[in-house]
Structure 1
Amino acid sequence: MEWSLPLASGVAETTAVDPSHEYEGFIGWVLGLMTTLGEPGVGLALLIETFFPPMPSEAVLPGAGFLAYDGQMNVWLAILWATIGCLVGSWGFYGIGALLGRERTLWLVKKTPLLEVEDFYKAERFFSRFGGLAVLLGRCVPLVRSFISVPAGIERMPLLKFSLYTVIGSAVWNALWIGLGYGFGPAIKPVLEQWSGVISNAVVVIIGLLLLWFVIVRVIKIMRSRSAPENVA
């Protein structure tokens, strides 16, 4: 009996903290990552999302809220760690802008496939016009929340001010999506238990189609811009 009770307890604990056994696909992977590492896993997921936008936070954060509803993490710590992950990621892009400066960053954009110089100019104009407000609001806009840090670094926006705006904007965004996952937990759980595999496949397909659409549109624009001088001539 002395050995069987701890063993049974241990099995129960493992089952409780690893939802990847219950849920399939992308959803199971995300939930498994966050429960394996706890609340810091939420921060890690958001850090990955900062540098890999195709894994959207809108698909990750509700999972953290769901786990909080299910009693497997603290909702406030989940928001805190998600915000820390966003902050660390934003420091990375800020550092790139600060180290490279405007001209070298512009050169890098020109040399990077599928990136447009006009995107750089738009981000630069947006930041020049709104400054800190651009950083704060940009944290709540998909894709923009990652790259708005670059012009902030180029302009050497005070790091403390940049961090403060990033924390505020990120905390609002994270609290919104984690709160939705927490609030709709009772409705989400039976759906995920039955359809997690189908939903995961749908998420992956949608992300893949969006990436394909982005690539096709950019390639068409590049081809048109290259052929334009020939047509004029």
Structure 2
Amino acid sequence: MILDLVPLAIFDASQFFSWFVENANYWFVFIFMIIESSFIPFPSELVVPPAAYLAMQEGSSMNIYIVTLVATAGAIVGAIINYYLALWVGRPIVYAFANSRAGHALLIDSAKVEKAEAYFDKHGAISTFIGRLIPAVRQLISIPAGLARMNLGKFIIFTGLGALVWNAVLAGLGYFLSRFVSLNQLYTTIEEYNVYLSYIGYAIGILCICFIAYNLLRPHPEKKA
């Protein structure tokens, strides 16, 4: 459930959703996706699907393709923030923050950071792409990339591609729901579909890993001299 993703004492998802639907524009999509992609816990399901839904309404000032691109740009900026924070402060301070009250208030702990680091170590640079599709890893995968001083250009490319795929899935959900769900039912319907979004993310990630493994393991014909 979307409501389980953030502390209720800090954030009321349903109230935000109502406010966002009434005030949605490209700038808000960009800003909230920066927040979503940084270390602050914020569900992208509250931003991209409703923005895409609204973009499909007659007379809308938004375009669903631009919504997807703007959301991706915001995700890249938020990821760069995490990258540089990790790069500048280093591992001891990252873990100290993760174990602090402030870190716990933001739903971060050392176990989650360790999980993101292990994922990065296992899959290398491509993990910044695949990690953008995996719940609980998506927001934190930029931290081990910064700690490892991953090439920034590569980081932006892989992060951008992963974010683009995920935002396209979310925008696709908004498009799909615009065909048969009323605006009053939109929030509860997105809540119901949220678990399937997680499954889709896992499935795409697994397919990517299988494709990469296949290319690495398949025999390559030797080049003739």
SS of the equivalent of 1:145 reads coil
Task: Please tell me whether residue 59 in structure 1 is matched to residue 46 in structure 2.
Answer: yes
By how many angstroms is 1:86 displaced?
A: 0.3
- 1: CA distance between counterparts of 2:143 and 2:133? 16
- 2: CA distance between counterparts of 1:89 and 1:133? 18
Which one of 72, 96, 112 corresponds to residue 83 of structure 1?
72
Pairs within 5 Å for 1:38-187: 38-51=25-38, 52-53=40-41, 55-71=42-58, 72=60, 73-112=62-101, 114=104, 115-187=108-180
SS of the equivalent of 2:133 reads coil
Compute the RMSD of aligned alpha carbons: 2.5
User: Using a 3 Å threshold, how does the CA distance of structure 1 residues 49 and 117 change in structure 2: closer, same or farther?
Assistant: closer
How many percent of aligned residue pairs carry the same amino acid? 33
So what's the TM-score if we normalise by structure 2? 0.68
Q: Which amino acid in the other structure matches residue 169 of structure 2?
A: L
User: Using a 3 Å threshold, how does the CA distance of structure 1 residues 109 and 48 change in structure 2: closer, same or farther?
Assistant: closer
Task: Please tell me whether residue 33 in structure 1 is matched to residue 23 in structure 2.
Answer: yes
**Is the 2:29–2:70 Cα contact (8 Å) retained in structure 1?**
yes
Moved over 6 A (4+): none
**Is the 1:40–1:78 Cα contact (8 Å) retained in structure 2?**
no
- 2: CA distance between counterparts of 1:83 and 1:124? 23
User: Using a 3 Å threshold, how does the CA distance of structure 1 residues 181 and 95 change in structure 2: closer, same or farther?
Assistant: same
Could you give the per-residue CA deviations for residues 74-125 of structure 1, whole angstroms, max 9, x where no partner exists?
A: 1111011000110010011101110011233233333345354333322222
By how many angstroms is 1:50 displaced?
A: 2.7
Residue 226 of structure 1: aligned partner:
none
**Is the 2:52–2:64 Cα contact (8 Å) retained in structure 1?**
yes
Q: Please, which runs of 5 or more residues in structure 1 have no aligned partner? A: 1-23, 207-233
- How many equivalent pairs are there? 172
**Is the 2:52–2:174 Cα contact (8 Å) retained in structure 1?**
yes
- 1: CA distance between counterparts of 2:148 and 2:154? 13
Larger deviation: 145-154 or 104-113?
104-113
- 2: CA distance between counterparts of 1:135 and 1:83? 14
- 2: CA distance between counterparts of 1:181 and 1:117? 34
**Is the 1:110–1:117 Cα contact (8 Å) retained in structure 2?**
yes
**Is the 1:139–1:169 Cα contact (8 Å) retained in structure 2?**
yes
Q: Please, which runs of 5 or more residues in structure 2 have no aligned partner? A: 1-13, 195-225
User: Using a 3 Å threshold, how does the CA distance of structure 1 residues 123 and 186 change in structure 2: closer, same or farther?
Assistant: closer
Q: Which amino acid in the other structure matches residue 170 of structure 1?
A: A
